Amino acid sequence: MRVVLDLDLCQGHGVCVEEAPDIFRLNDDGAGYGRVELLLPQPPQALRASLERAARYCPNRVITVVDD
């Protein structure tokens, strides 16, 4: 399983960080704008449920879960 994150469409709402903090992190660039960072591009299966919640609740639908 791997995560595809479209950073061009991400607006930094941080919902993914709330749902899956082991997979995503919100970085502040100093200008008050948060940018999501992918910590685990290939998370373990144990984190699948939180990853799927992050993808489902993302306001911009920028997270895709790909089964390899």
24: domain CATH number is 3.30.70.20
Question: What is the extent of the structural domain holding 13?
Answer: 2-66
Specify the pLDDT at position 55: 98
pLDDT digits (tens, 9 = 90+) for 9-61: 998 899 999 999 999 998 876 555 678 999 999 999 999 999 999 999 999 99
Task: State how many domains the chain has.
Answer: 1
Task: Look up the pTM and report it.
Answer: 0.89
Specify the pLDDT at position 35: 80
For 12-26, b/e burial (b = at least 16 CB within 10 A) is bbbbbbebbeebbeb
Structure tokens of 18?
């709330």
